[in-house]
Amino acid sequence: MTDDKTTHFGYQEVPVGEKQARVRAVFDSVATRYDIMNDLMSMGIHRLWKRRAIEMAGVRRGQQVLDLAAGTGDLAERFSEIVGPDGAVVMSDINEAMLSQGRARLVDAGRVGNLDYAIANAEALPFADNSFDCVTIGFGLRNVTHKQLALNEMFRVLRPGGRALILEFSHPTIDPLAKAYDLYSFTMLPLMGKLVTGDSDSYRYLAESIRMHPDQETLLSMLEQAGFERCSYQNLTAGVVAIHRGYKL
């Protein structure tokens, strides 16, 4: 059990003040090989998950989008295409190494003009109330120390009529799949991490962080607690991943 002085870092219980630095160290370690590992770990399926998340986000031309925990910018890149020159996308991450990788990739791809970059903590966003039409966070909420604070902040910076979308690993709904997924996560992921990035510990943490993340119904309740309405979720790959969505009405 954790209290207000401790929190989970994977399966470890650590002082609250240490988690952010530990998470930063994980992503500093894997930043340069992050995209390669995503393809290897998911056998490319992460691209389909992200495509579905973009569809569910419902972003339109001219809108303002905030992409939290943007990493190397998969979601932000597509959003920048959709909103066009009259819209804007803020690509934000607490980890400077990840954000730098993403910015370099998007600049190389010619994605300039409607993309801005911000190093920001999801628990205390440096943006005004009612600033964005859509706020997304893909595979990042599980690394946030105080998840409810992050959801509250997402609600605050959204405009009335806006929506939040959370793409995250979740809890498989089929028992045989859950067992196979556990075996894969705790054996193959650290091994691949060691072979590709030279870092097995970071990928062991990632596997543990998924298990410690709230399940689908719990996260749905947390969205409602933050003030969101019309909240729902969709399981992908039998609950290995879930997309949660809520509206600020």
Spatial distance between the Cα atoms of 65 and 172, rounded to a whole number of angstroms: 30
Strand pairing class (132-138; 64-68): parallel
Spatial distance between the Cα atoms of 220 and 228, rounded to a whole number of angstroms: 10
Tell whether 121 is in a known binding site.
yes
* Residues 6 or more apart in contact with residue 12 via CB below 8 angstroms: none
**Other CB atoms within 10 A of residue 196 CB:** 15
Spatial distance between the Cα atoms of 151 and 142, rounded to a whole number of angstroms: 12
Q: Which two tokens stand for residue 90?
A: 């803020």
Tell whether 38 is in a known binding site.
no
Tell whether 72 is in a known binding site.
yes
How many residues belong to the chain? 249
Spatial distance between the Cα atoms of 194 and 1, rounded to a whole number of angstroms: 30
Residue 43 carries which side chain, given as an amino acid letter?
A: M
Tell whether 122 is in a known binding site.
yes
The C-alpha angle with vertex 243 and arms to 239 and 244, in degrees rounded to 5, equals: 120
State the burial class of residue 118 (Cβ atoms within 10 Å of its Cβ: 0-12, 13-18, 19+): middle
Query: 119, 96 in Cβ contact below 8 A?
Result: yes
Residues of each annotated binding site for S-adenosyl-L-methionine: 72, 93, 121-122
Residues of each annotated binding site: 72, 93, 121-122
